[in-house]
Amino acid sequence: MGRFRRIRLGCLATLFLIGAVPSEALAANQEPAGLNLGLTSFYDGFGRNEEGFVYLAYATYSRSRSINGDDGKPEEVFNNPKLDAYILINQLVYMLPETLFGDAARPGINLIVPVLGFDTSFSPPPPPPGIQLKDNGFGMGDPVLGLLLQFKPIMAGKRPVFSHRLELDLIIPIGGYDPHKDINQGSNFASFNPYWAATVLPIPHLEFSARFHYLYNFTNLRPANPPPIMPAVVSAKAGQAFWVNYAASYEVIPRLHVGVNGYYFNQFTDDKYTYADGTQNNGKSVPPLGDQGHARFLTVGPGIFWDIDKENKLMANAYFTLFADNRPSSTVFNLHYIHSF
- Domains of the chain, start order: 3-340 (2.40.160.40)
**Backbone torsion region of residue 19, taken as left when φ is above 0, otherwise alpha when ψ lies between -120 and 50, otherwise beta:** left
Q: Which is higher by pLDDT, 138 or 128?
A: 138
Q: What confidence category does residue 74 fall into, taking pLDDT thresholds of 50, 70 and 90?
A: confident
pLDDT at 201: 98
pLDDT at 224 over 50: yes
pLDDT at 8: 27
pLDDT at 57 over 70: yes
Report the side by side order of strands in the sheet with 219-220. Answer: 219-220, 233-237, 272-275
Distance, CA of 172 to CA of 226 (rounded, Å): 24
Neighbours of 140 (CB within 10 A): 14
Average pLDDT over residues 227-232: 55
> pLDDT for 169-179, tens place per residue?
999 999 999 98
Neighbours of 204 (CB within 10 A): 8
Residue 265, H or E segment: strand 256-267
CB 19 within 8 A of CB 263: yes
Residue 7, H or E segment: helix 3-9
pLDDT at 207: 98
Q: Which of 37, 30, 23 is nearest to 113 (CA)?
A: 23
Q: Which of 70, 34, 23 is nearest to 327 (CA)?
A: 70
pLDDT at 41: 95
Average pLDDT over residues 267-296: 71
pLDDT at 225: 64
> pLDDT for 235-262, tens place per residue?
889 999 999 999 999 999 999 999 999 9
Distance, CA of 155 to CA of 133 (rounded, Å): 52
pLDDT at 62: 92
pLDDT at 292 over 60: no
pLDDT at 328: 82
Distance, CA of 151 to CA of 247 (rounded, Å): 20
- Could you tell me which residues are beta bridge partners of residue 297? 265, 324
**pLDDT > 90 in the chain, percent:** 60
Q: How many CA atoms lie within 13 A of 158 on its CB side?
A: 0
pTM of the predicted model, to two decimals? 0.86
DSSP label at residue 3? H
CB 142 within 8 A of CB 34: yes
Distance, CA of 75 to CA of 164 (rounded, Å): 41
Of the ranges 145-149, 218-222, 273-277, which one carries the lowest mean pLDDT score? 273-277
pLDDT at 287: 42
pLDDT at 11 over 80: no
Q: Which of 25, 131, 3, 133 is nearest to 78 (CA)?
A: 131
Longest CA–CA span in the chain (Å) reads 69
Distance, CA of 95 to CA of 55 (rounded, Å): 11
Q: What are the E-state strand segments in 124-222?
A: 138-140, 144-151, 154-156, 159-171, 191-200, 206-217, 219-220
pLDDT at 288: 37
CB 28 within 8 A of CB 9: yes
Mean pLDDT score across all residues of the chain: 84
pLDDT at 40 over 70: yes
> pLDDT for 265-276, tens place per residue?
999 998 888 888
